[in-house]
Amino acid sequence: MPITPLLIDGSFEPEQRHVLELAFNAALRRIGLVDRKDPVCEIVARRMIAVHRRGVTDAVALCEITIREIGVPTE
């Protein structure tokens, strides 16, 4: 699942959505997820949004913190 459907609720500005999409795609690459239908994709997306809501706005930091918090080993 792409992160975009979770960002439509109106609480994110276009720039924030862009940063989240970049970070999400980077995280999936780092984890090695190719199939967007894999349930782990939604876990990554929801955790990343939670990390962003805590004030992390940099795409690289969002990617790194999200991966660390969900505890998925990277390739």
Please calculate the CA angle 40-43-44 and round it to the nearest 5 degrees. Answer: 90
As a whole number of Å, the CA-based R_g of the chain is 11
pLDDT digits (tens, 9 = 90+) for 2-46: 787 888 877 889 999 999 999 999 999 999 988 888 898 999 999
| pLDDT at position 70 | 93
Compute the distance between CA of residue 51 and CA of residue 38 in angstroms, rounded to an integer: 21
| pLDDT at position 26 | 96
| pLDDT at position 3 | 85
* For residue 75, pLDDT beyond 60: no
What is the residue whose two structure tokens read 């690459």? 29
Mean pLDDT of 64-69: 95
